[in-house]
Amino acid sequence: MMLRIDEKRLLNNLNSLAQIGCTPDGGVSRPALSEADAAGRAWFKRKVQEAGLTFHADEAGNLSAILPAANPDARTLLAGSHLDSVPNGGRFDGALGVLAALEALQTIKEAGLSLPVHLEAISFTDEEGSVVGMLGSRALTGQFAEADLEQARLGQEELSAGLPRLNLVRSDIHLARRNPETLAGYVELHIEQGTRLEEAGLQIGVVTSIVGIRSFWLDFAGQAAHAGTTPMDKRADALWGAANFVLQAKELVMAQFSPGVVNCGQLIVQPGNFNIVPARVRLSLEFRHGSEDTLDEMEVALLTLAANIADQHHLSFSSEPAGNCIAAPMNPRLIQAVEQAATQLELRHTRLLSLAGHDAQTLSPFTPSVLYFVPSVDGISHNPREYTRDEDVINGANVMLHTLLILAENAS
Amino acid sequence: MMLRIDEKRLLNNLNSLAQIGCTPDGGVSRPALSEADAAGRAWFKRKVQEAGLTFHADEAGNLSAILPAANPDARTLLAGSHLDSVPNGGRFDGALGVLAALEALQTIKEAGLSLPVHLEAISFTDEEGSVVGMLGSRALTGQFAEADLEQARLGQEELSAGLPRLNLVRSDIHLARRNPETLAGYVELHIEQGTRLEEAGLQIGVVTSIVGIRSFWLDFAGQAAHAGTTPMDKRADALWGAANFVLQAKELVMAQFSPGVVNCGQLIVQPGNFNIVPARVRLSLEFRHGSEDTLDEMEVALLTLAANIADQHHLSFSSEPAGNCIAAPMNPRLIQAVEQAATQLELRHTRLLSLAGHDAQTLSPFTPSVLYFVPSVDGISHNPREYTRDEDVINGANVMLHTLLILAENAS
């Protein structure tokens, strides 16, 4: 009979973690560096220690449970995801991947198996981007510098208040970098956050490539003015320009760049009074596509559109990059290992593209990486109603267990 | 030959007052209750006394220069505006009206004219709203209660620190209320804060009505969703709805409700992340018109538009009132008096609507009131670059002088 994870323990752990930063409607708010993030981390450390695994925290706040191989010079096979959430998000995004990896290690330890690689279940800091996005996986792979914090999305004040909560020191974060020769690969389980598996009646989706994501801050600047005495046709209302861009960017991407997507998720008006014509709008822009060439085309088209709209409304326009995650193909050998595990477990699986960024994207140029999905009910995610059925949670963790065993065997 | 005000004295006074609370770029910061406001008031008291007029301060801090009639039982004709400014504002807004009224009284006194009414040049406290907005004129007309101070915009701490600077006592402010039977009317000169007079080459604009202002908070609620994995055509993006409303509200008001105006001055996105489809947008809506009937129509049209747009974008919609200042028609007899004065002085004048609120709005239901404008260069106001030419300052004061004489004569 095949080895299986402890279903009840895994479901209990998922439920217990979801109480930390829980929202009244059953969701989770655990943004990186928040008090809730710090509490979630303390909970994870306890669980690692209860499991009899070795706890480790690096300079970037990445937290690990380690099941050492007999040979101290063995390479390390990583498995994990992230414990942070978006504000008012769901309980599965990230948490499932970390807890499934922890559960797999605990199962292997309890089975008394001796493997030729160290196994490390890891939670990466700030995947969701409260700070800079994938801070932890970027630091581990040498793709982070202290200067990156100057663009911290939560602002310098919140950043300075938040870093000590995680025992982080600005100037030390880059020291989390590892030597890729010490690593044997990275495996990540995540919820799909879409409806393709559910609609096709499948249980496991193995990702062949993760979309690239580019983001920008757009600034539309007009003229503050009295909202009564300034004639409508004499106003340089920054919100008129930004509103026009939000609508036209949507039309442009749907018409010309499908299946690429675009989102304007934040819009800040200054001075922001009932009776003052908006002087300035700062708008966040993010767009995604599986091809880097198409991302180049989208960038030109969207920034040109914004500049043209600003002109029409007598506004000035500027933009600054706020993030760039390149499209990331997954490793064929690791893809096959996940498929083999799913087949052994008699689970219906398929290959697909990931439209969301994940830590596996950052890891993939550094060490052989793979990402796979279990279904999300109705595809809802980044929302308190995010939900994945117990049986899919369990399937995902069992695939993790056997993928690690297959890769460990082949690494010997 | 017609009586004229003393041009040099008026311009000197304006210039001298502008030194109090002056900003480095030639503007004025004299918010109500500030040290600069207190200094401006002390300056005004000296000027009243130098002019040989009677100084009076009431319980609301309204300051007056009085030229008494021979008959102590005569009614009082008020003329004035306010000495306070917005933070970092201009030197003409309010100050011109007070100093023109003072100059008119001084001219009449020096001419030795005996009138059948008391004349009172008055500066109303807090027109600009550092405290509650039009505190002085509200108190004088019985539209103020001590409880209103609970919403003081400058905060309770600043309020408690500021009231003693003006020798004000919270519980006594309402005692400034007058008996309307003792009053013969109110005349206010103000800068236009717009460009209609300038563009038409006119010198005097007689206001027929001061606009009513209605404001609402609009809520567009959709569904937070992952900005990558949620297909574009499956999103309920609250910002798409709000952006569409901002643009269509502008088109609607310009096409159907001119010279009414609309402003969306604040827009708040939740949760407000790069990678989350906006779940909710809270949008401020303010619209103005001179007619209460038209305001009713605008309210229905704009709220219906918002509800329809929300439907199109699969959003829910709600609204809540956030303020209502009713439109204030000016008194026809006083309008004609100002026009007669302007005609006698051979000034090019017109009738127009005031798109900004003024003390005359508060006075109008209480005593026959009129407001008239002189041009503002480029319409700039609430800004250090606010400017009105000397000749327009002088014209405004001469119209004040003759309007008071005409009204006094008719009141006899």
The mean-pLDDT minimum among A253-257, A294-298, A323-327, B134-138 falls in A323-327
Nearest to B121 by CA among B99, B138, B93: B99
State the pLDDT at residue B382: 85
A chain contacts of residue B231, beta-carbon cutoff 8 Å: 194, 259, 261
Share of chain A above pLDDT 90, in %: 88
Does residue B2 lie within any of the structural domains? no
Taking residues A349-377, report their average pLDDT.
94
Q: Decide if pLDDT at A288 tops 90.
A: yes
Judgement on whether residues B42 and B172 belong to the same structural domain of the protein = yes
Hey, of A226, A240, A358, A388, which one would you mutate to test binding to chain B, going by the most B CBs within 10 A of its CB? A226
Angle made by CA atoms B178, B180, B183, in degrees to the nearest 5: 95
Task: Determine how β-strand B118-123 pairs with β-strand B76-81.
Answer: parallel
Structural domain count, chain B:
2
State the pLDDT at residue A180: 97
Boundary residue ending a domain (B325, B350, B382): B325
Judgement on whether residues B362 and B316 belong to the same structural domain of the protein = no
State the pLDDT at residue B412: 55
B chain contacts of residue A87, beta-carbon cutoff 8 Å: 271-273
State the pLDDT at residue A226: 86
Boundary residue ending a domain (A325, A346, A375): A325
Q: Decide if pLDDT at A338 tops 60.
A: yes
Q: Which of A128, A226, A383 sits opposite B224 (nearest CB)?
A: A383
Residue B371 three-state SS: strand
Angle at which helices B35-50 and B95-110 pack, to 10 degrees? 10
Residue A57 three-state SS: strand
Residue B146 Cα, gap to closest chain A Cα (Å): 25
Q: Which of A92-96, A378-382, A406-410 has the highest mean pLDDT?
A: A92-96
Contact A263 B272 (CB under 8 A): no
User: Domain range for residue B52?
Assistant: 7-210+327-411
> Could you tell me if B213 lies within 8 Å of chain A, comparing CB atoms?
yes
Taking residues A319-339, report their average pLDDT.
94
Taking residues A71-100, report their average pLDDT.
97
Judgement on whether residues A240 and A312 belong to the same structural domain of the protein = yes
Judgement on whether residues B32 and B134 belong to the same structural domain of the protein = yes
| Exposed / middle / buried, residue A175 (Cβ in 10 Å: 0-12, 13-18, 19+) | exposed
Q: Which of B228, B247, B322 sits opposite A357 (nearest CB)?
A: B228
Does residue B392 lie within any of the structural domains? yes
Q: How many helices (H) and strands (E) does chain B have?
A: 11, 16
Judgement on whether residues A270 and A378 belong to the same structural domain of the protein = no
Does residue B206 lie within any of the structural domains? yes
State the pLDDT at residue A323: 87
> Could you tell me if B243 lies within 8 Å of chain A, comparing CB atoms?
yes
Residue B280 Cα, gap to closest chain A Cα (Å): 10
Q: What is the DSSP letter of B89?
A: B
Taking residues A309-320, report their average pLDDT.
98
Q: Which residue does chain A place closest to B272, by CA atoms?
A: A266
Residues B227 and B243: beta-carbon distance below 8 Å: no
State the pLDDT at residue A412: 55
> Could you tell me if A377 lies within 8 Å of chain B, comparing CB atoms?
no
Judgement on whether residues B403 and B272 belong to the same structural domain of the protein = no
Contact B274 A129 (CB under 8 A): yes
Q: Which residue does chain A place closest to B354, by CA atoms?
A: A229
More confident residue, A136 or B86: A136
Distance CA A139, CA A148 (A): 11
Does residue B286 lie within any of the structural domains? yes
Sign of CA dihedral B107, B112, B115, B121: positive
Contact B355 A261 (CB under 8 A): no
Judgement on whether residues B175 and B248 belong to the same structural domain of the protein = no
Residue A247 three-state SS: helix
Judgement on whether residues A178 and A221 belong to the same structural domain of the protein = no
Contact B239 A246 (CB under 8 A): yes
Q: Which residue does chain A place closest to B284, by CA atoms?
A: A274
B chain contacts of residue A247, beta-carbon cutoff 8 Å: 240, 243-244, 247
pLDDT (tens digit per residue) in A230-261: 889 999 999 999 999 999 999 999 999 998 99
Boundary residue ending a domain (A268, A295, A325): A325
Residues 3-62, chain A: which have Cβ within 8 Å of B? Answer: none
Q: Is the pTM of this model over 0.80?
A: no
Extract the residue ranges of chain B whose pLDDT is less than 70. Answer: 412
